[in-house]
Amino acid sequence: MATVAPPLAFLLALLGLAGAAFPEEPGPLSSVPSEVVRRYPVFLGRAHRSSLRQEPLHIQSILKVNRTLYIGSRDDLFRLELDNVVGDEMFYSKKRSWESNRNDIRICRMKGKQEDECRNFMKVLLSRPGGLFVCGTNAFNPLCANYTRDTLEMVGETISGMARCPYDPKHANVALFADGNLFTATVTDFLAIDAVIYRSLGNPPALRTVKHDSKWFREPYFVSAVEWGPHIYFFFRELGMEFNYLEKAVVSRVARVCKGDVGGSQRVLEKQWTSFLKARLNCSIPGDSHFYFNQLHSTSPILRSHGRDIVLGVFSTPANSIPGSAVCAFDMQQLARVFEGRFKEQKSPESIWTPVPDELVPKPRPGGCAVQGSRFNSSNVFPDEVLNFVKTHPLMDEAVPSLGQRPWIVKTMVRYQLNKMVVDTEAGPHRNQTVLFLGSTKGTVLKFLMIPARDRSIAGGNIFLEELEGYNREKCGEDSPQARQLLSLTLDRPSHSLLLAFSSCVVRVPVARCQLFSRCMKNCIASRDPYCGWTRGSTCSFLRPGTR
Ligand SMILES: *[C@@H]1O[C@H](CO)[C@@H](O)[C@H](O)[C@H]1NC(C)=O
Ligand SMILES: *[C@@H]1O[C@H](CO)[C@@H](O)[C@H](O)[C@H]1NC(C)=O
Ligand SMILES: *[C@@H]1O[C@H](CO)[C@@H](O)[C@H](O)[C@H]1NC(C)=O
Ligand SMILES: *[C@@H]1O[C@H](CO)[C@@H](O)[C@H](O)[C@H]1NC(C)=O
Ligand SMILES: *[C@@H]1O[C@H](CO)[C@@H](O)[C@H](O)[C@H]1NC(C)=O
């Protein structure tokens, strides 16, 4: 044991050495040489090969609509055609600037912000029937506007971006349209104190979460949102307050609201959600002492797998602790069931948190959606007792268990964290394999083949296929931990590639590099890569979907 570095020894001690449940962590079957990756096409904000490169990009948001990629950057919007990529650089087909006006910049500077913060960072980029919906921080005075899809022209007036877009480009935010309403999760003020889940722009009244109530949010970091059934689910992390010790502990959460909520009565929760509930997400390794991955970084969309709707999440340990990351899966049905379970409460500021006994929960059940045709056909006719209960009890007692009660993938023996993910559920020539691509804080991409289990549980195991450097040091510019932060990972199926967005560039990387295994059939098969196969010309080739 003398050779084990202290953090690892500590980790093993934590897990209890007897806890053999801790999975092994083999290295990748293939490490992709950097000279291969260096040739992949990169977008740097240029119109064509001979245009001068101006200041580096500050990419904030990415949106792929069919064969077009939209990129929201600092003061600029770009449109890029994914089918027109040739050579080692991608060029935009349209660029539109949206800068803050002088007055907004002056006020931003007067409030003590730096010159490079008092710009317009495009943090919201959504597609809606009429075109694009874009919000920018606008020198700490956020604004939103409609844009046309093809020419990127602003249509109509700008509207306030408050509660729709953060003030500070460093803050994480979430936005999605559902049923013609905009659902956002962000902070609504200059000082970033008032966190909110907000609905606006539709027919029903605008609604928000209760202001400055630590039971609802405590320093949240919003990660994603999905629509499922009558609800919108929001995934985030925040400081947990339900623990019986004073230490500040970050935990991961899922919250939900009813899409049809119209707010409470004039006495309780007026213009606020009557359906906001939240629960902890449990991504942990079972063993003698439980090991938790408490910090959620990203989630997948809802995936259909073996007849269930599941969501995958990438979690890590806190930055200042033992480095470790994990991917956990959650069954949406199981997740929704936690919201039908018991509520948690703290009777007095000194007492511990306990479940609320069923007989003390008022009826109709707090946090539910109003039902058409019933006595409570609208959330504003719920009894005050019910509204008061949900206002003071937004937290569920139970945590959402992960599928199979353990992570699908664990990485602890490395000096980086996994923080982004994209899943290809239609990998391989028969479109029946699942490949997970994970992005790390070092700018690398890890590729895993998921092996289905024979029994009913979904997670059989996984094979670590490949690891590659995604960040292109030569082309993207500056090399720093900040520059290597992957902002997003997008799968572009028609071109069989991934789009890796960093602050200063977008890199397009093919999903597989079969030619690297072309020396012999054995290599090709040993790669285990579902995208590759030994073909008639005696080479290892990419197998297009449908090939035999
Ligand atoms: C994207 O493609 C689908 C299917 O081909 C089409 O119905 C849709 O209108 C396209 N969306 C846009 C914004 O062009
Ligand atoms: C933006 O477009 C939507 C849908 O096309 C429309 O309802 C809305 O009024 C527009 N907003 C502005 C500010 O022009
Ligand atoms: C709810 O029911 C009442 C009468 O039972 C009806 O007047 C009202 O229009 C209904 N409201 C909604 C939103 O369906
Ligand atoms: C998380 O899941 C594990 C394994 O099922 C369980 O033992 C543990 O109690 C759970 N933790 C919480 C906080 O629910
Ligand atoms: C995918 O489909 C092919 C052809 O039907 C089959 O041979 C193969 O076993 C399937 N693979 C998996 C992982 O289900």
pLDDT, tens digit, for every residue of 479-510?
899 999 999 999 999 999 999 999 999 999 99
| Nearest CA owner, ligand 5 atom 6 | 430
What is the pLDDT of the chain when averaged over all its residues? 91
- CA–centroid distance, residue 460 to ligand 5 (Å): 16
Q: Is the pLDDT of residue 216 over 70?
A: yes
Q: What is the pLDDT of residue 394?
A: 97
pLDDT for 121: 98
51 lines ligand 3 (CB under 6 A): no
d(CA 96, CA 150): 11
398 CA closest ligand 4 atom index:
14
Task: Compute, in angstroms, the gap from residue 423 CA to the centroid of ligand 1.
Answer: 22
Residue 468 has pLDDT above 70, yes or no: yes
User: Cα–chain-centroid distance for residue 222?
Assistant: 8
Query: pLDDT of 226-243, one tens digit each?
Result: 999 999 999 999 999 888
How far, in Å, CA of 513 to CA of 511, rounded?
Answer: 7
Characterize 181-218 residue by residue with b for buried, 16 or more Cβ atoms within 10 angstroms of its Cβ, and e for exposed: bbbbbbbbeeeeebbbbbbbbeebeebbbbeeeebbbe
What's the gap in Å between 402 CA and the centre of ligand 3?
40
- CB atoms under 10 Å from CB of 110, counted, come to 9
Between the CA of 211 and the centroid of ligand 4 the distance, in Å, is: 31
Which numbered atom of ligand 4 lies nearest the CA of 292?
1
- Higher pLDDT pick, 53 / 279: 279
Closest CA to 372 of 271, 258, 255: 258
| Ligand 3 atom nearest residue 381's Cα | 1
Q: For residue 464, give the nearest of 477, 479, 451 by alpha carbon.
A: 451
d(CA 465, CA 531): 11
Residue nearest to atom 11 of ligand 5 (CA): 432
pLDDT at 351: 86
Q: Which of 64, 65, 66 to mutate to test the pocket of ligand 1 (most atoms within 8 A of CB)?
A: 66
For residue 305, what pLDDT band results from cuts at 50, 70 and 90? Answer: confident
Write the DSSP symbol of residue 35: H
Q: How far is the CA of 128 from the centre of ligand 2 (A)?
A: 10
Which protein residue's CA is at the shortest distance from atom 5 of ligand 2? Answer: 130
> Which residue, by CA, sits nearest to atom 8 of ligand 2?
146
Task: Determine if ligand 3 sits within 6 Å of the CB of residue 378.
Answer: yes
Task: Identify the DSSP state of 274.
Answer: S
| Ligand 1, residues at Cβ distance < 6 Å | 65-66
What per-residue string of b and e applies to 443-460 under the rule 16 or more CB within 10 Å gives b?
bbbbbbbbeeeeeeebbe
Cβ atoms within 10 Å of 243's Cβ, excluding its own: 13
pLDDT tens-digit series, residues 18-52? 333 455 678 899 988 888 889 999 999 999 988 88
The DSSP H or E segment spanning 6 is helix 6-15
Ligand 2: distance of its center to the CA of 148 in Å?
11
HSE-up of residue 48 (Cα within 13 Å, Cβ side)? 1
**Distance from residue 35's CA to the centre of ligand 4 (Å):** 45
- The tokens describing 45, both together, are 């904000």
Does ligand 2 come within 6 angstroms of the Cβ of 146? yes
**How many A from CA of 381 to the centre of ligand 3?**
10
pLDDT tens, residue by residue, 353-399: 999 999 999 999 999 999 999 999 999 999 999 999 999 999 999 99
In which band, very low, low, confident or very high, does the pLDDT at 99 lie, cut at 50, 70 and 90? very high
**283 pocket-lining for ligand 4 (C-beta < 6 Å):** no
DSSP 153-178: -EEEEEEE-TTTS-SSTTS--EEEEE
Task: Check residue 80 and give its pLDDT.
Answer: 97
pLDDT of residue 66: 95
Question: What are 372-383's pLDDT values in tens digits?
Answer: 999 999 999 999
Q: Where are the beta strands (DSSP E) in 161-307?
A: 174-178, 181-187, 195-200, 221-228, 231-240, 249-258, 277-282, 284-285, 291-292, 295-299, 303-305
Which residue has the least CA distance to atom 5 on ligand 1?
A: 66
Is the Cβ atom of 433 under 6 angstroms away from ligand 5? yes
pLDDT at 263: 96
The protein residue whose alpha carbon is closest to atom 13 in ligand 5 is: 433
Closest approach atom of ligand 4 to CA 401: 2
Nearest-CA residue for ligand 3 atom 12 is 377
| Max CA pair span of the chain | 76
Tokens of 492: 């572009």
Residue 133 CA to ligand 1 centre (angstroms): 17
Amino acid 472 reads: N
Say yes or no to pLDDT of 416 above 80: yes
Pocket probe for ligand 4: among 282, 294, 315, the residue whose CB has the most ligand atoms within 8 Å is 282
User: Would the pLDDT of 425 be above 80?
Assistant: yes
Phi-psi region of 460 (alpha: psi -120 to 50; beta: other; left: phi over 0): alpha
- Tell how far the Cα of 357 is from the centroid of ligand 2, in angstroms: 47
pLDDT at res. 538: 82
pLDDT band at 247 (very low <50, low <70, confident <90, very high): low
Looking at the CA of 376, which ligand is closest? 3
Is the CB–ligand 3 distance for residue 377 below 6 Å? yes
Ligand 3, atom 4: nearest CA belongs to which residue? 375
Q: What stretches of 200-350 show up as alpha helix (H) in DSSP?
A: 332-338
Ligand 5 atom nearest residue 451's Cα: 13
Which pLDDT score is estimated for 22? 54
Identify the top-confidence range among 171-175, 302-306, 480-484: 171-175
User: What pLDDT is stored for residue 24 in this prediction?
Assistant: 61
Mean per-residue pLDDT, 176-205: 94
**Cα angle value 338/344/348 (rounded, 5°):** 175
Do the Cβ atoms of 273 and 257 come closer than 8 Å? yes
pTM of the model: 0.93
Cβ–Cβ < 8 Å for 418, 297: yes
